[in-house]
């Protein structure tokens, strides 16, 4: 494939966002069991707390990379190396994407009635 169209880039961005949100959901699901297991073994203070935090931060990167290497997640025209890079970057940005959507969607919904009034002349 020589050229990539805007619709293909938009589709890829949508898939990337979906994989990123999957990383955030996975982290939220695994956070509590990991914290319980961690507290049973050691206290969550000092270096142990720092190691726990970094473990939680690496969960979405690992899971998103693992999921993105599965067949059918990305379009066929994306190479295997790019699939892994897209998955790892989606995992790195999973929290950022979640918080951006969490704030952007309510703001867009709040603006919608005023925008409709202007558009419809009401």
pLDDT above 80 for 43? no
Q: Tell me whether residue 43 is in a domain.
A: yes
The share of the chain scoring above pLDDT 90, in percent, equals: 18
Indicate the average pLDDT of the chain.
85
* pTM, two decimal places: 0.73
Q: Are 34 and 41 in contact (CB under 8 A)?
A: no
Q: Are 68 and 19 in contact (CB under 8 A)?
A: yes
DSSP string for 49-80: HHHHHHHHHHHHHHHHHHHHTSTTSS-TTS-H
Q: Tell me whether residue 114 is in a domain.
A: no
Q: Tell me whether residue 121 is in a domain.
A: no
Q: Tell me whether residue 21 is in a domain.
A: yes
Question: Domain range holding 86?
Answer: 6-94
- Distance between CA atoms of 48 and 86, rounded to whole angstroms? 31
In the chain, the number of structural domains is 1
Q: Tell me whether residue 23 is in a domain.
A: yes
Tens digit of each residue's pLDDT (9 = 90 or more) over 45-71: 777 778 888 888 888 899 999 988 888
């Amino acid at each position: 494939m020589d050229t990539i169209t805007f619709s293909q880039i938009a589709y890829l961005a949508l898939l990337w966002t979906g994989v990123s949100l999957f990383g955030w959901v996975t982290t939220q699901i695994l956070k509590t069991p990991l914290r319980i297991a961690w507290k049973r073994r050691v206290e969550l203070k000092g270096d142990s707390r720092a190691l726990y935090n970094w473990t939680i931060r690496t969960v979405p990167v690992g899971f998103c990379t693992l999921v993105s290497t599965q067949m059918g997640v990305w379009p066929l025209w994306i190479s295997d190396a790019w699939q892994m890079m897209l998955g790892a970057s989606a995992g790195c940005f999973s929290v950022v994407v979640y918080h951006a959507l969490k704030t952007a969607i309510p703001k867009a919904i709040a603006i919608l009635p005023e925008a409709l009034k202007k558009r419809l002349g009401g």
